[in-house]
């Protein structure tokens, strides 16, 4: 069962079939499933993060009468960089991950899938305003800029919340009296 963070909707073929029909081929691809190997934010995998962004991109694009197909597909592919950025050491002269991963993701996407100009813009420019020169060309790109930041923040705080909750549980649990 596929589910986005904070959502109670199943995103597989038995749940939100409209969303699933837009991304089914991507969800079944080996290269997309490879993202499950890498931790991204907190204890969220890169795959789960991209699923979160994809679903909420789809919902927002649909709400604003934008291209929900491009939002869903680009959202699922936007972080297809395929390495653990926590341990990645950039070669001399290469900028840090935050500045380069969108380009690496787009390169991997183009190698493995057909993507439209709109989808390319969404993937390449999703790190605006960190990448200040990568100005969004489409409204759908602005949607992912916001969605990506919101999902990443939710993932980090969900993880931090679990850590804090566990700390308090262990610290203040009642000691058994013998």
Average pLDDT over residues 29-44: 85
Model confidence at 178: pLDDT above 50: no
Contacts with 171 (C-beta within 8 Å, 6 or more apart), sequence order: none
Confidence of residue 154 (pLDDT cuts 50, 70, 90): confident
Q: Is residue 17 pLDDT above 80, yes or no?
A: yes
> What pLDDT, in 10s, does the model give residues 50-101?
999 999 999 999 999 999 999 999 999 998 877 665 565 666 766 655 556 7
Whole-angstrom Cα distance, residue 71 to residue 81?
18
Nearest CA-CA partner of 148 in 2, 49, 5: 49
Q: Where are the domains of the chain?
A: 17-172
In this predicted structure, what is the pLDDT of residue 14? 67
pLDDT (0 to 100) of residue 98: 56
**Rounded Cα gap, residues 10 and 128, in angstroms:** 30
CATH class label, 17-172: mainly alpha
């Amino acid at each position: 069962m596929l589910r986005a963070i904070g959502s109670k909707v199943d995103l597989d073929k038995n749940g939100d079939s409209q969303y699933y029909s837009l991304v089914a081929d991507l969800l079944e691809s080996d290269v997309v499933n490879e993202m499950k190997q890498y931790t991204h934010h907190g204890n969220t995998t890169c795959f789960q993060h991209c699923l979160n962004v994809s679903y909420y991109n789809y919902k927002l694009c649909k709400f604003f009468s934008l291209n929900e197909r491009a939002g869903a597909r680009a959202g699922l592919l936007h972080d297809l960089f395929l390495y653990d950025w926590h341990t990645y050491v950039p070669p001399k002269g290469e900028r840090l991950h935050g500045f380069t991963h969108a380009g690496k993701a787009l390169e991997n996407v183009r190698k493995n899938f057909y993507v439209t100009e709109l989808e390319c813009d969404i993937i390449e420019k999703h790190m605006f305003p960190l990448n200040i020169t990568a100005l969004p060309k489409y409204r759908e790109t602005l949607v992912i800029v916001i969605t990506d930041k919101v999902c990443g923040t939710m993932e980090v705080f969900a993880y931090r919340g679990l850590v804090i909750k566990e700390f308090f549980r262990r610290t203040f649990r009642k000691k058994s009296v013998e």
